[in-house]
A and B are shown apart, each in its own frame.
Chain A
Amino acid sequence: MTTTAELDVAAVKADFPIFDRCCDPERPLVFLDSAASSQKPRQVIEAMSEFYETTYANVHRGVYRIAEAATNRMEGARRTVAGFIGAPRPEEIIFTKNATEALNLVARSWGGANLGPGDAVVLTQMEHHANIVPWQILAAEKGFEIRWIPVRPDGHLDLSNLDRLLDGAAMMSVTAMSNVLGTIPPLGSMIAAARAAGALVTLDACQYVPHLPTDVSSLDADFIAFSGHKMLGPTGVGVLWGRTELLEAMPPFLGGGGMILDVTQEGFRADAIPAKFEAGTPPITEIVGLAAAIEYLDGLGMDRVRRHEVSLTAYALRTLTERLGDRLTIHGPSEPADRGGVLSLDLAGVHPHDLSQVLDQHNVCVRPGHHCAKPLMRVLGVGATARASLYVYNDESDVDALADALVDAGEFFAF
């Protein structure tokens, strides 16, 4: 984990079959959309196939051997996830459908039981809709206030009024890395301020856990949500980590099989965590795949992953600015150390949707749109951006291909 050697991107790339097998034999796939969903290494695909072919059965309660083996694989995966984020207890890992469901679980279960008129939840203006709308739905029912930490033009949060925003707040629910700007907020000081104000802290860590070493104990948050598919794992599985005492005190989220101790005509008794929050058959094979993805990332070393991305982001900021000049706006912090490898681009005179179409002709995959962050788009004064995002299989050649394609798009739409 602490080796100083850089990431061997060619070797990493060779683990991802899509780069050999996709779409265009003439031109390499330049995949710059990992912030939406990452590609999957052979190790993850094979772990899932192997599980289906040798071990698959529904988990829990089965007494036959593969049912027991499947249960063991799933519970082993829970320990793998816990270890990866430094969770003190595996039972604090709740498997969900995705991070959106994890955030809805916090809002609906914790918020539903604890928020009412006179309370406040503090968000930032750069949240993904998944960390806005669940609170808005609940606020409409419960009558609490939503307060917003502003975003400055340079892409950093304006924390000058943080203490006032937190005054009387019961929850601060914020992104650990913006999916539009790449901004990594000063989580340590923000969480300390929330603690001092008596507020709990939820982190939307979808863009953080796949890219930076994560230790929930040192982060000192109360809930952390992330998804499997952005960290080399499959779709269909997300994770909520929460403190034991909070999870135990919260009412169930979804009701059904697997989450009860007993059901009578009069009512039910919920099971202990994590089962209490895992109603219905879980995404068993996807959970196995997520564990394989974590083992792969652990093999690379998350410190090394982060160093690679800081270095590549620095190269991208420098190269794109040199090649495109004033015509290109790159939203977000200018210092690579303050951000992840998420580059929201605005090429003057070319709408992001058109830009992304031209880039596709170069087999360069970026994402146009509001990135499920419309309040932030309004703050930035744009309708959309074209977002390029970097991961472990990207290197300088991908950035160069992006720069070439941007220059070409600029010429195509020149007027």
Chain B
Amino acid sequence: MSGLEDLYREIILDHYRTPRNRGKLETPPAHKVEGFNPLCGDEITVYVDTDGDRVTDVRIDGQGCSISQASASMMTNAIKGRSFAEISDLTRAFKSMMSIHENELGGDDGREPEPGSEESVPADEVKLGDLEALRGVVKFPVRIKCATLAWNTLAQAIDEARADDGAPTGSS
């Protein structure tokens, strides 16, 4: 079964079998966003607590394949306690590894930002750590949506949190 080991690295199966930060957070104060992959039926719910400029806690609920679940689990480890800016860099780096370059994450016209033109760190300089294990997904293009589901849902949750933080009522 050549190729499968590239996709299903041991650390991925470990996160699938023993997902980290699984569960729910109380809403409010947490922000909750549901993400769907309409192609395969995967559903994921991301809960984030924020303190105005960083994610202080995160939980994942829902169901999905090993790639979507492992990516979500690794993501929670990678982002907990990180600033929105750091998470934005990490997200862009992760998507870059998945061969996705999106303008909504700081680039223009779908390209990565020019070096030095933005404050964000270039994608190839961001340390992905365990997330590197998901690099093999690129060889299986239909699975890229599985790997990015949690990240897209997280981005939406952070957007909502920031929008709320910008509101006059303020937050904790």
Contact = CB atoms under 8 A, between A and B. Distances in A.
A374 interface: yes
A268 interface: no
A361 interface: yes
Contacts of B146: 353
SS class of chain A's interface: helix, strand, loop or mixed? helix
A142 interface: no
B66 A383 contact: no
A377 B36 CA distance: 15
A354 interface: yes
Interface string A188-209: 0000000000000000000000
A358 B43 contact: no
Contacts of A352: 40, 65
B40 A361 contact: no
Contact of B7 (A357, A383, A384): A357
B13 A351 contact: no
A357 B143 contact: yes
Interface in B67-95: 67, 69
A358 B66 CA distance: 12
Interface residues of B, number: 22
A368 B2 CA distance: 21
A354 B66 contact: yes
Contact of B41 (A354, A357, A369, A408): A369
A368 B40 contact: yes
Interface string A357-384: 1100100000011100010010000011
B3 A383 contact: no
Given A354-B66, A357-B7, 19 more contacts: A351-B65, A352-B65, A353-B65, A353-B143, A354-B8, A354-B65, A354-B67, A357-B4, A357-B143, A358-B1, A361-B1, A361-B2, A361-B4, A383-B43, A383-B64, A384-B41, A384-B42, A412-B8, A415-B17
Q: Can you list the 9 inter-chain pairs with the closest CB atoms, starting with the nearest?
A: A353-B65, A351-B65, A370-B41, A384-B41, A361-B1, A383-B41, A383-B63, A369-B40, A354-B66
